[in-house]
Amino acid sequence: MRTRFIRYIEGKSVIHRLDPRSKLIFVFSILLSLTVAPNILFLIPLLAVSLAFYFSARLPWSKTKTTWKFVLAIILVLSTLNLLTLSILYGGAQTLEDVIAQLTSKEVLLKSLTPVTKLLTLAIATVTFIFTTPPHLYAPALGQMGVPYKVAYIVQLALRYIPEYIDEMKKTLEAQMARGFRPKGGKNPIARILSVVPLVVPVTISATLSIYDIADAMELRGFGEKRCHTWYRKLRMMRRDKLLIMISIALAAIYVAIFLMRLYGVIDIPTILRLC
């Protein structure tokens, strides 16, 4: 790959050295636990685990700054919106004092903070995964997780062709300019992005026509002939990977168990952990 497109940040931390498969299992267990967590108190341990995962990756702030700015901006906007809609629409407030009282009431605050905490926890876990996993390991990791190699190859092909098509876009734009097309550009970033719009149709058509050539080339090299497939990059599970997988499974199991037991009324959340 000529340019590194996926935001991988090189490093030597323990998270960088983990097997991508175990990191993937960890992210999914966080996702599952978040989905079934009953209230905000149950989200705090998950947030802590995600933060621990993020901080052990020792990612430099200078390289993750833009992502965090983006995530925090969304979270700020969303929490304000949540707070306002909840207190104005559902609070039944008539006067300004009522609205202010609603805004600071415990119920409304909790109700608007819970979804935002879920979003933040999920963002921390996935951002760490993407920043610490080199993109060339995505397909081998999927393949060696038991995913059929043909499916893993879709990921491989996609990552392989993204830079190719960005090049193709540049080439098509130059060809159009040679025929007299002048994209509005200059310093305005929006106008420069708008110049991409006329490229959608020609680039898509030429790429679609090349599908058959790529498929022929792959079949000539024997792709799809045999049922089994070996991977050039052999991944090996170390002790730390097994530990992370065990932690992830335990975490998800606890949250799912709590969810199921509440669903069937076997237990209820102790009063201390109940919020409203």
Partner 1 sequence: MLVEMSSRKLLSTTNIVAMGVGTALYAAFNVFFNIFQLPGTQLVALRPSVCIPMFFGFVFGPVVGFVAGFLGNAISDAISWGGFWWNWDVGNGLLGLIPGLAMYILKREDIFEKKGLLMAAIMAIIASIIGMAFAAYTDYIFGYGISTIEEATTILFIPAAVTDAINGAILTPILVAAYGAAVRGRARRA
Footprint of partner 1 on 178-207 (CB under 8 A): 189-190, 193, 196-197, 200-201, 203-205, 207
User: The tokens of 11 are what?
Assistant: 């490093």
User: The tokens of 127 are what?
Assistant: 């951002």
Question: Of residues 214, 238, 249, 261, which one binds partner 1 by CB under 8 A?
Answer: 214
Q: Does 231 bind partner 1 (CB under 8 A)?
A: no
Which 86-145 residues touch partner 1, going by CB under 8 A?
Answer: 86, 89-90, 111-112, 114-116, 118-119, 122-123, 126-127, 129-131
Which 157-176 residues touch partner 1, going by CB under 8 A?
Answer: 157-162, 164-166, 169
Mark 33-72 with x for binding to partner 1 (rule: CB under 8 A) and - for no binding: -xx-------------------------------x--xx-
Dihedrals phi, psi of 260, to nearest 5 degrees = -65, -40
Q: Which is nearer to partner 1, 204 or 261 (CB)?
A: 204
User: The tokens of 214 are what?
Assistant: 């790529």
CB of 239 to partner 1, least distance (A): 27
User: The tokens of 65 are what?
Assistant: 């700054």
CB of 261 to partner 1, least distance (A): 20
How many CB atoms sit inside 10 A of residue 83's CB?
Answer: 19
Q: Does 27 bind partner 1 (CB under 8 A)?
A: yes
* 141, 165, 177, 186 from 198: Cα distances, Å: 37, 15, 12, 17
Q: Does 219 bind partner 1 (CB under 8 A)?
A: yes
Whose tokens are 């497109």? That residue is 5
User: The tokens of 38 are what?
Assistant: 């009953």
Question: How far apart are the C-alpha atoms of 273 and 220, rounded to whole Å?
Answer: 63
